[in-house]
Amino acid sequence: MSTASSAKKLRPKYLTLPAILFEIRLPLPGWISILHRVSGALLVFPLAAWLLYLLDASLASEAGFERIRAHYLQMVSVKIGLLVFIWAYCHHFCAGIRFLLLDLNKGIELRQARISSVIVLIVSLALTVVFGARLW
Amino acid sequence: MVNRLVVGAHYGMRDWLAQRITAAIMAVYTVIVAAIVLMNAPLKYVGWQALFAQGWMRVATLLFAVSLAWHAWVGVRDILMDYIKQDGLRLALQVMTLLLIGAYVGWTIQILWR
């Protein structure tokens, strides 16, 4: 039987970090999925806290608003941070809509699932470029 | 047929559904607010302040914050359940997550009704 030969094969038995990094090659839908998770984690912390700080300062007073607009948002490190936020939000948004459609059994065939993965990746990056361009 | 013994109170199903409903709420809010901000660009303090002074906007933003809290809790809990195998550490991180998310909601209320 084939069980004997397959038992000899060395397979990653657990999802160890080296296995994830070097042994398992994720297909594109897998990348969309893990990036959805990564972007979600980033949005919870630290990006949500940072955005609340920005909302707080910009709504507190006109001086606060101007300080954010004219000084804080002009700093390169802040702009890069906002770029990360924009990408994380756009990717989480687009990938989330894809997952909602998958939950409704829309686009679950392999071909459609791959196409929608490409769309999610491209649209979220394109939106990041559009909003990022407005930022700069 | 899969012979499966169903036990428990189906918390998984409730959270799964809640995560999707809150996602839809946040998606709608995002599109509306993004449209308002983009149509009024460049943004001035007067317009920005007036936007969040409106009653519907405050309630909508609070609804967003509560949706985010529930959505994020389910998401972070899933991540911690997947990767943190040690019970004590996972519990500690889950408590920290709840405190963090609770603080976010409190901060949001403070900002909105100042």
In whole angstroms, what is the distance from residue A128 CA to residue A43 CA? 15
Domain-by-domain residue ranges, chain B? 11-112
Q: What pLDDT does A12 receive?
A: 57
Q: What pLDDT band is residue A135 in, cutting at 50, 70 and 90?
A: confident
Q: What pLDDT band is residue A2 in, cutting at 50, 70 and 90?
A: very low
- B101 interaction partners in chain A (CB closer than 8 Å): 44
- Is there a contact between A65 and B45 if contact means CB atoms under 8 Å apart? yes
Q: What pLDDT does A7 receive?
A: 57
- Indicate whether A48 pLDDT > 90: yes
The answer to whether domain A27-135 has CATH 3.40.630.10 is no
Taking only the tens place, the pLDDT of each residue in B24-71 is 999 999 999 999 999 988 889 999 999 999 999 999 999 999 999 999
Mean pLDDT of chain A, nearest integer: 90
Give the chain A residue nearest B23 (alpha carbons): A96
Q: For B8, left (φ over 0), alpha (ψ -120 to 50), or beta?
A: left
Quick one: what percent of chain A has pLDDT higher than 90?
78
Domain-by-domain residue ranges, chain A? 27-135
| B30 close to A (CB below 8 A) | yes
Quick one: what percent of chain A has pLDDT higher than 70?
90
Q: What pLDDT does B1 receive?
A: 58
CB within 8 Å of A26: residues ≥ 6 apart: A34
- Indicate whether A1 pLDDT > 50: no
- Is there a contact between B48 and A56 if contact means CB atoms under 8 Å apart? no
Give the chain A residue nearest B82 (alpha carbons): A15
- For every residue of A69-131, DSSP letters joined together read IIIGGGSHHHHHHHHHHHHHHHHHHHHHHHHHHHHTT-S-SHHHHHHHHHHHHHHHHHHHHHH
Write out the CATH class of domain B11-112: mainly alpha
Mean pLDDT for A15-34 is 84
Mean pLDDT for A97-108 is 94
- Is there a contact between A44 and B75 if contact means CB atoms under 8 Å apart? yes
Mean pLDDT for A13-42 is 86
Q: What pLDDT band is residue A13 in, cutting at 50, 70 and 90?
A: low
Rg (CA), chain B: 19
- B110 interaction partners in chain A (CB closer than 8 Å): 56
Structural element, H or E, at residue B110: helix B87-112
Instruction: Report CA-CA distances (Å) from B95 to B29, B53, B76, B88, B98.
Output: 28, 33, 11, 11, 5
Q: What pLDDT does B11 receive?
A: 67
